[in-house]
């Protein structure tokens, strides 16, 4: 039995000064809640409780006085409700006054129209230090720390080795690099204009690295490549089974993931001649299997029921431990996972799509071999995973191919016959996932495929679509529709079995979102937006996805391609510590619904195999 | 109305999955004095064979197969006690389960339908079956064939584990072990020491019958 989703306790925060009311999970800090909703509060440490600048006044509601509050405020101010926003946990609804800003914070638009206030974990300070003398006998380190008045930083021991030389060679003009309240470097001269981080979308198939300029919040360079683990199999299950068969495979796969990421990061730096040492932070969004393998954690339990991940929240590790040749003391943030099949990539995607902060009823659907679905309506967040199989990658399709030159990527049936769109306008050699969806949807629309997904008889075809009827043929092993003549004389066909493969895939996905809608007691027509995540979603025709029942039957304009949201989420985590906390808060806020656990799954799945009626 | 009309009606109605009609024609046939064997072997089983053939070509899909199977089992519920009375032997007993660590069962259920449709008595152990469950079922039901299903490459190794456990329990002897599931291949089946493999439900039934015939011939030769 699937558990009823537990009630997520949410509280309303009213920012009186901004005339804005927001609803957030209880326990979130006022600072994070404000940041997530585009309300800037002064801060130089990025919400780590060290700069004591994020002063707000609680007008209604109670926030207990914290230890740091007593240092930041006079007793009278505490009585008036003044608190540091970054340690003020909102456990009840509050009305809050935010004083006008003393600095102008930068914001950046990332993800699905998300405004992110720039609060990177990495902060640089240029320091013009007084030279030591017989009178001023402070140590080198003390001399540096004394100049950083607004952040209480711990010191990474690695800083010390080169500190004396750096100070003296640069005439005591240096730049301190503080990451997450740790002093990780002291660099010669003023390097404050060079602060970078890398956002990595660690996909099973493709890996994308984006070098972000943390001073402006903009992407500086992007590089992508196939995951070098490819020879071990196309999907996560085959990678996991590789580790089960060969005791050396895990180490090898880990190495290959590291190599892939390292190469991309190097490329993203080389492009503009950026020194990799000026990259101080990394955020990695990968599915649970990719993340566990990259960390060298045995993935076997992920591949076998009951599908248990090693951990939900991964510890922050040194970037070098993930094979990244950036600053040696830079750390890497790994997105947490909700379960074996709703991983960090999906959490990053949900973050980028603002799934937890939109009152509309929305569905987030990431179509792949494994399809992840999130339902949100401002109150509830439900997630599930559906095994769609490889049809959308066209791997199990007779004339299927990846979306590359020569692939039929779009199909339309017009009055005068069949129209094909082929990638790079090449001679067609096969069909890719988006073309497959189009072909099936169009054939169903004109009636050459019946409601159950079966090709109609030749006699019926001659009546229904005389111009196309001769394309319907009997091949060895069943009926097929000829899409095109290939250059070698053989045809490119859509076979009856191909249609069935697509039906299996779409049924797995629609069963997933239908069960989530059922769980939330909402109707399909009430869905206000469907976000299609991932590269496949970008090429899919919304109209045809609706027609075959892959997504809910709503106006096509409400089915929106969201692009590489996992990568966007990783960028957000680089640009803002509060957003990073938001990813962790999502793990708490989302209820996972296991489909294979439901006794009605099979019945619903079988019902979903057919195409929806018009 | 002749018995041939009844057989024709049973065949057609099973093919389209009209359960009430199949049940009705079964009753009529029995009233007319037709034997349960006749109804089973001359109408229901051939009809399900046609279902399997159409499924292989893709003309029939899972829903069609399920409703045909359901129509047939309605008739079987009526026929089974009668067949037992007349002492007609089933084609064979087939113990079936999805292996431990795997929760997929739609494919396995389709094979069950086709096996029942071919006259096998099928004992379905469900999903996530550990070796002990297979062994207990073999001891209890004395099947000729054990079938194991796995949908994931990560759970396929359980075939070998199950076969080892069956051997260790001293039950392997004459038992036929068949394996199947989306990622399984003939090569894999051979490697784990299974006796049979099939890529789909219709082939699975053919293969099961072949293996059974071979086994019986071998046994007869020994006697």
- pLDDT digits 0-9 by tens, A234-254: 889 999 999 999 999 999 999
Strands of A377-485, DSSP E: 381-387, 407-414, 417-422, 430-431, 472-475, 478-485
Residue B20 has pLDDT above 70, yes or no: yes
Contact A238 B153 (CB under 8 A): yes
Q: Which of A101-115, A465-479, A508-522, A578-592 shows the lowest mean pLDDT across its residues?
A: A101-115
Q: Is B57 within 8 Å of A477 when comparing Cβ atoms?
A: yes
Contact flag B156-A503 (C-beta cutoff 8 Å) = no
Say yes or no for a CB contact (<8 Å) between A452 and B101: no
B54 CB near a chain A CB, below 8 Å?
no
Given a contact cutoff of 8 angstroms between Cβ atoms, the answer to whether A593 and A2 are in contact is yes
| Least CB–CB distance from A606: residue in B66, B103, B153 | B66
Substitution target from A241, A246, A305, A601 for chain B, most B beta carbons within 10 A: A305
pLDDT at A103 over 80: no
Scored b (16 or more CB within 10 A) or e, A1-19 reads ebeebeeeebbebbbeebe
Q: List the structure tokens of A48.
A: 């780590």
Name every chain A residue with its beta carbon within 8 A of the beta carbon of B64.
Answer: 452
A284 contacts A202 by C-beta, under 8 angstroms: yes
The shortest C-alpha distance from A303 to chain B (Å) reads 6
Torsions phi, psi for A413 (to 5 deg): -110, 115
* More reliable by pLDDT, A284 or B64: A284
Q: What is the DSSP string of A46-77?
A: SSSSSS---EEEEEES--PPPHHHHHHS-HHH
Contact residues for A292 (Cβ-Cβ < 8 A; gap 6+):
A298, A299, A302, A309, A310
Are B61 and A238 in contact (CB < 8 Å)?
A: no
Which two three-digit tokens encode residue A256?
């290959």
A399 by Cβ neighbours in 10 Å (0-12 / 13-18 / 19+) ranks as buried
Chain B CB contacts of A303 under 8 Å are 152-155
What is the biggest distance separating any 2 CA atoms in chain B, rounded to whole angstroms? 57
d(CA A313, CA A316): 9
Beta carbons of A478 and B57 less than 8 Å apart: yes
In chain B, residues 183-222 whose CB comes closer than 8 Å to chain A: none
Mean pLDDT of A318-338: 96
What is the CB neighbour count within 10 angstroms for residue A360?
12
- Collapsing DSSP to helix, strand or coil, B74 comes out as helix
* Residue A28 tokens, joined: 């979130």
Contacts of B153 in chain A (CB under 8 A): 233, 237-238, 240-241, 303
Choose from B153, B160, B183, B184 for mutation: most chain A CBs within 10 A. Answer: B153
What is chain A's alpha carbon radius of gyration, rounded to the nearest angstrom? 27
Q: Whole-model pTM?
A: 0.89
| Per-state percent for chain A, helix, strand, coil, to nearest 5 | 35, 25, 40
Question: Mean of the pLDDT values across residues A272-282?
Answer: 93
- Highest averaged pLDDT of the listed ranges A37-46, A131-140, A366-375, B99-108: A131-140
Confidence at residue A93, expressed as pLDDT on a 0 to 100 scale: 93
Report yes or no: B104 at the A interface, CB cutoff 8 Å. Answer: yes
Cα B140 to the center of its chain, rounded Å: 18
pLDDT at A50 over 90: no
- Nearest beta carbon to residue B106 from set A233, A244, A605: A605
- Report angle CA A429, A432, A433 to the nearest 5 degrees: 165
- C-alpha–C-alpha distance, residues B158 and A526, integer Å: 44
Mean pLDDT score of chain B, rounded to an integer? Answer: 93
Peptide bond before residue A325 is cis, with ω within 30 degrees of 0:
no
Strands B176-180 and B196-197: parallel
Report how many Cβ contacts below 8 Å link chain A to chain B: 75
Question: Do B117 and B48 meet the contact criterion of CB atoms below 8 Å apart?
Answer: yes
The arithmetic mean of pLDDT across residues A452-470, rounded, is 93
The pLDDT value given to residue B141: 96
Q: From B182, B134, B210, B202, select the one nearest A369 (Cα to Cα).
A: B182
- Per-residue pLDDT tens over the stretch A177-224: 999 989 999 999 999 999 999 999 999 989 999 999 999 999 999 999
B59 contacts in A (CB within 8 Å)? 454, 478-479, 496
A452:B155 CB<8 A: no
Question: Which residues of B are less than 8 Å from A610 in CB distance?
Answer: 63
The vertex-A578 CA angle with A8 and A310, nearest 5°, equals 65
pLDDT tens-digit readout, A477-528: 789 999 998 666 789 999 998 999 999 999 999 999 999 999 999 999 999 9
Contact A303 B62 (CB under 8 A): no
User: Can you read off the two tokens belonging to residue B91?
Assistant: 């084609």
Residues of B in contact with A452 (CB under 8 A): 61, 63-64
Residues of B in contact with A241 (CB under 8 A): 152-154, 156-157
Average pLDDT, chain A: 92
Helix axes B157-168, B131-141, angle to 10 degrees: 50
Of B57, B106, B152, nearest to A237 by CB-CB distance is: B152
Distance, CA of A528 to chain centre: 21
pLDDT surpasses 70 at A418? yes
Check CB contact under 8 Å for A596 and B103. yes
Question: Any idea what DSSP says for residue A156?
Answer: -
For A387, phi then psi, to 5°, come to -80, 100
C-alpha torsion sign, points B110, B111, B112, B117:
positive
Residues in chain A within 8 Å Cβ distance of B62: 606, 609
8 A C-beta contact, residue A224 and residue A206: yes
Determine whether the interchain pair B57/A496 forms a contact, defined as Cβ–Cβ distance below 8 Å: yes
pLDDT computed for residue A5 by the predictor = 44
Distance from CA of A296 to the nearest CA of B (A): 18
Residue A206 sits at the vertex; the CA angle it makes with A200 and A209, to the nearest 5 degrees, is: 25
**DSSP helix/strand/coil, A495:** strand
> Over the Cα atoms of chain B, what is R_g?
18
Closest CA to A154 of A333, A332, A329: A329
ipTM of the complex model: 0.84
First to last CA, chain B: 47
Are B61 and A454 within 8 A, CB to CB? yes
pLDDT band at A22 (very low <50, low <70, confident <90, very high): confident
Q: Tell me the C-alpha distance between A292 and A322, whole Å.
A: 11
Q: What is the pLDDT of residue A3?
A: 44
The alpha carbon of residue B2 is apart from the nearest alpha carbon of chain A, in Å, by: 32
Of residues A309 and A596, more confidently modeled: A309
**Residue B203: which of B217, B222, B223, B184 has the closest Cα?**
B184
Give how far A499 is from chain B: nearest CA, Å. 9
In this predicted structure, what is the pLDDT of residue A1?
A: 40
In order, the DSSP letters of A275-315 are: -GGGEEEEEEEE-HHHHHHHTT---HHHHSTT---S-SSPP
pLDDT tens readout for residues B142-194: 999 999 999 999 999 999 999 999 999 999 999 999 999 988 999 999 999 99
Sign of CA dihedral B100, A591, A373, A571: negative
């Amino acid at each position: 039995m699937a558990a009823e989703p537990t009630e997520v306790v949410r509280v309303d925060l009213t920012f009186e000064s901004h005339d804005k009311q927001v609803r957030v999970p209880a326990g979130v800090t006022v600072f994070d809640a404000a940041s997530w909703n585009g309300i800037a509060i002064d801060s130089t440490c990025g919400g780590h409780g060290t700069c004591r600048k994020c002063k707000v006044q609680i007008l209604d509601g109670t926030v207990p006085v914290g230890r740091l509050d007593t240092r930041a405020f006079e007793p009278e101010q505490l009585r008036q409700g003044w608190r540091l926003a970054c340690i003020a946990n909102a456990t009840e609804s509050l009305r809050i006054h935010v004083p006008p800003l003393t600095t102008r914070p930068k914001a950046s638009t990332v993800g699905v129209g998300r405004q992110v206030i720039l609060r990177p974990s990495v902060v640089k300070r240029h320091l013009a230090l007084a030279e030591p003398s017989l009178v001023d006998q402070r140590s080198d380190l003390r001399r540096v720390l004394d100049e950083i008045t607004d952040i209480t930083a711990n010191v990474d021991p690695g800083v010390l080795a080169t500190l004396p030389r750096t100070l003296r060679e640069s005439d005591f003009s240096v730049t301190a690099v503080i990451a997450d309240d740790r002093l990780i470097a002291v660099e010669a001269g003023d390097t404050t204009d060079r602060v970078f981080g890398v956002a990595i979308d660690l996909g099973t198939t493709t890996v994308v690295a984006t070098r972000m300029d943390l001073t402006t919040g903009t992407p500086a360079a992007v590089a992508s490549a196939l995951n070098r683990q490819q020879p071990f199999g196309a999907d996560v299950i085959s990678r996991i089974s590789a580790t089960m068969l060969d005791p050396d495979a895990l180490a090898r796969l880990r190495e290959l993931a590291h190599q892939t990421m390292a190469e991309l990061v190097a490329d993203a730096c080389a492009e503009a001649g950026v020194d990799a040492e000026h990259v101080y932070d990394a955020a990695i969004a990968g599915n649970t299997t990719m993340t566990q393998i990259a960390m060298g954690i045995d993935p076997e339990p992920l591949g076998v029921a009951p599908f248990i991940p090693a951990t939900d929240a991964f510890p922050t590790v040194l970037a070098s431990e993930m094979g990244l040749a950036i600053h040696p003391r830079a750390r890497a943030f790994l997105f947490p996972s909700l379960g074996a099949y709703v991983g960090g990539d999906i959490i990053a995607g949900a973050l980028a799509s603002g799934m937890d902060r939109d009152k509309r009823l929305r569905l987030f659907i990431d179509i792949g071999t494994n399809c992840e679905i999130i339902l949100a309506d401002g109150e509830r967040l439900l997630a599930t995973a559906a095994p769609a199989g490889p049809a959308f990658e066209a791997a199990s399709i007779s004339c299927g191919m990846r979306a590359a030159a020569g692939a039929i990527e779009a199909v339309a049936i017009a009055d005068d016959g069949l129209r094909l769109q082929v990638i790079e306008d090449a001679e067609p050699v096969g069909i890719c996932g988006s073309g497959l969806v189009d072909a099936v949807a169009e054939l169903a629309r004109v009636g050459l495929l019946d409601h159950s997904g079966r090709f109609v008889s030749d006699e019926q075809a001659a009546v229904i679509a005389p111009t196309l009827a001769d394309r319907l043929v009997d091949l060895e092993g069943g009926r097929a529709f000829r899409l095109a003549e290939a250059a070698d004389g053989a045809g490119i066909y859509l076979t009856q079995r191909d249609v069935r493969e697509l039906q299996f895939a779409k049924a797995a996905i629609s069963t997933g979102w239908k069960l989530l809608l059922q769980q939330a007691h909402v109707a399909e027509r009430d869905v206000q937006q469907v976000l299609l995540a991932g590269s496949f979603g970008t090429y899919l025709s919304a109209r045809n996805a609706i027609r075959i029942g892959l997504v809910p039957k709503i106006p096509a304009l409400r089915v929106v391609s969201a692009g590489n949201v996992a990568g966007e989420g990783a960028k957000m985590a680089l640009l803002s510590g509060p957003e990073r906390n938001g990813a962790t808060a999502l793990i708490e806020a989302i209820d996972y619904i296991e489909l294979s656990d439901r006794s009605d799954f099979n019945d619903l799945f079988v019902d979903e195999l057919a195409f929806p009626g018009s | 109305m002749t018995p041939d009309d009844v057989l024709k009606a049973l065949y057609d109605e099973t093919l389209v999955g009209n359960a009430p009609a199949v049940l009705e024609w079964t009753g009529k046939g029995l009233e007319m004095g037709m034997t349960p064997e006749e109804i089973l072997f001359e109408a229901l089983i051939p009809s399900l064979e046609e279902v399997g053939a159409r499924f292989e070509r893709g003309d029939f899909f899972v829903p069609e197969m399920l409703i045909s199977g359901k129509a047939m089992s309605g008739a079987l519920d009526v026929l089974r006690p009668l067949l037992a009375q007349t002492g007609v032997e089933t084609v064979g007993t087939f113990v079936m389960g999805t292996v431990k660590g795997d929760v997929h069962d739609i494919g396995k259920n389709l094979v069950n339908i086709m096996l029942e449709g071919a006259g096998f008595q099928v004992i379905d152990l469900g999903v996530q079956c550990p070796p002990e469950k297979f062994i207990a079922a073999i001891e209890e039901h004395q099947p000729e064939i054990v079938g194991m299903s796995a949908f994931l490459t990560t759970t396929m190794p359980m075939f070998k584990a199950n076969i080892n456990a069956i051997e260790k329990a001293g039950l392997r002897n004459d038992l036929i072990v068949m394996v199947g599931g989306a990622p399984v291949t003939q090569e894999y089946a051979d490697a784990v020491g299974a006796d049979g493999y099939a890529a789909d439900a219709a082939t699975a039934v053919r293969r099961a019958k072949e293996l059974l015939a071979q086994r019986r011939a071998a046994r007869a030769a020994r006697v």
